[in-house]
Amino acid sequence: MVHHIILWKIQADKTEEEKKEIMENVKKGLEGLVGQVPGLERAHVQTEKLTSSTVDLMLDSVFTDAESLVNYKTHPAHVHVADTYV
């Protein structure tokens, strides 16, 4: 099992409405990859910011092994979500 954690800050020039839409799209897109990308067992995008945090989004994903994580990076479904929403 391999955990893959990514943190993001949304561009400061975005309005609150734009930030909310971005976060919803990223969450839906990345969590929707479970079942599409081989070896991706779980994906959770945290959109509720902690007061102690300086980031806007966190992806916590779990893969069956390191090879699955490598393949995820170039999987067409992941590339589409990354290019479209992230």
pLDDT tens digits, one per residue of 50-83: 788 889 999 999 999 999 999 999 999 999 999 9
Beta bridge partners of 3: 62
Q: What is the SS3 assignment for 5?
A: strand
Q: Global pTM?
A: 0.90
Tokens found for residue 53: 């945090």
Written as one string, the DSSP assignment of 18-69 is HHHHHHHHHHHHHHTTTTTSTTEEEEEEE-S--TT-S-SEEEEEEESSHHHH
